[in-house]
Structures are given as structure tokens and as C-alpha cells.
Amino acid sequence: MEIQVHKQPEPEVEIRNVTAHVFLDFTLYEGAQDLLNGFVEGEVHWGDGEVVAVTAQPSPAHVSLQHDFHPGSYVITILAHNFRAPVQEADALTIPIIARLPAPVIEQPPIVFGPIIPRDQGAPNRSQWALDLANNIRVLESDIRVLLLTPVGTRLMQPDYGTQLNRLVFEPFDEPVIRDFAAEDIRRALTTWEPRAQLTSLTLTKINERSVALDCKFTTKLSPEGFTVNLQFSQS
């Protein structure tokens, strides 16, 4: 009399939703020549109080079962016997398992840390200038300010870094044309150098004959609120 297990749970199974779903596949086999094709029967004790009976049937008897476990430690026990007279022959097999809750997933917000440059409006501004440190959205805002204020061709080893926004003050003031030029230039620079942010709107204001102001609004995965970068370009 023998129990042959074909598929059994892993020693540790993970809870999905409420329970851990496991499969058990085995055969009750009677190999004695004088009992060939003799009947066998058995039971499966899941270890949580539930028992499944394997009714008497000719050997080999193939059994496939499924069961759900709540969190905890269990011992699955398979019992089987033949019908040899006067004394039945039996076999037993135990399978210990642990049903565990999945480890909690702690989502850490993306963190960017570094120095920031002063704003034209709000704190810290140029009149309050000191080396300041911040994280996440403030650093990204500062990085984009540097990108937009840097003329293309002026950064050593990175001649493509920056924008051509400084040319705005030298162009005839045609607001729709200049606004479209500025928006396209900003999007190009973001795509290459700062893909964490997207331009959502741009407002162009002529301050005087020698100065132009830009108010740029951005969205980013670092913050659901987004942020605004205020720029001013003047002809010296």
C-alpha cells in the first residue's frame, strides 16, 4: 500500500485576498500481486478540522483536491489503506505548510534632494539669497528654472542644454507667434533634459520694450498639484 504524491503545496503559501488556495494531487496505489486491482480508500485531513473522504475504489486511485487556508500553520495528512484480510495495510503521509499574509508594500514617494536657486517671486528670492536645500517638487522647480534660463550653447560639454528663450526680447512682439515659439522650445528642452515635468500652460507678458515675462505651469509625477515657474528676460 503506497501513497504517491504528484502535486503538493509549497512549504509556504501566500494569502491572496482572504485565503491561500492550494492544490493536492496524489494516487493511492496497491502494488501487492495478490491484491492487484484491489480496492483502496483513504482520507485527507487538511489540518484545520476539515476532512475529505476518498471512497473505496480500485487501485490505482487518482485523487485531485483543492482547499483554502486562512493564515496559520497546518499539517496536511493523507491516510490510506487496502482491504487485505484479516489485517488491513495502511500508509500515511504528512505535508506541513504555512499560509502567510503577503508582506506589506510600502510605497515610498520619489525623493529628489539638492540645492535650489532663488525664485523671482516668493521665498527664497534674490533679496534673501543664501544656499538653500529642499527636496522633491522644489528641487525639480529649481532644475527647470536653470534649464529655461540657460541659453543654448553656453554650457561647457553640453552645448545643447538650455533654451532659446533669451531671444524673445529681440523679436518683434507678436504674442501668439512668440508664445508658440516659447512653448515649443520649452517642450523640446524638457523632453531632452527634464522628462519628469510637462508644460501645461504658458502666459506671455510684455513688461516694456526691453523685457518680457513668462509664467509657465508644469505637472509632474512628484506632486499632484504641479508648480509654476516665473521667468523674466531683459535686453541689457
- Which runs of consecutive H residues, i.e. helices, occur in the chain? 137-149, 175-193
Show which of 100, 128, 161 is a domain's final residue: 100
Using alpha carbons, select from 76, 93, 80, 103 the residue that is nearest to residue 22. 76
Give percent of the chain above pLDDT 70: 86
Would strands 211-220 and 223-234 be described as parallel, antiparallel, or unpaired? antiparallel
Residues 218/187, Cβ–Cβ less than 8 Å: no
Co-location of 96 and 30 in the same domain: yes
Using alpha carbons, select from 168, 173, 169, 170 the residue that is nearest to residue 184. 168
b/e map 96-133, b = 16+ CB within 10 Å: ebbbeeeeeeeeeeeeeeeebebbeeeebeeeeeeeee
Q: Output the pLDDT for position 225.
A: 78
Q: Residue 158 domain-assigned? A: yes
Quote the pTM value: 0.47
Question: What range does the domain containing 168 cover?
Answer: 113-234
Co-location of 163 and 61 in the same domain: no
Q: Output the pLDDT for position 32.
A: 77
The string of pLDDT tens digits covering residues 40-59 is: 999 999 999 999 999 999 88
Co-location of 155 and 86 in the same domain: no
Helices 175-193 and 137-149 pack at an angle, to 10 degrees, of 120
Q: Residue 105 domain-assigned? A: no
Average pLDDT, the chain: 84
Helix (H, G, I), strand (E, B) or coil at 139: helix
The pLDDT of residue 29 is above 50: yes
How much is the average pLDDT of 73-81? 95
pLDDT class for 176, splitting at 50, 70, 90? confident
103 Cβ contact partners less than 8 Å away, ≥ 6 residues apart: none
Q: Output the pLDDT for position 226.
A: 85
Co-location of 94 and 158 in the same domain: no
Show which of 100, 129, 154 is a domain's final residue: 100
Residue 115: C-alpha distances to residues 148, 189, 192 (Å):
17, 21, 21
Residues 135/200, Cβ–Cβ less than 8 Å: no
The pLDDT of residue 64 is above 90: yes
Helix (H, G, I), strand (E, B) or coil at 45: strand
The string of pLDDT tens digits covering residues 89-143 is: 899 999 999 999 888 877 766 555 555 565 655 544 555 444 444 557 788 888 8
Q: Residue 106 domain-assigned? A: no
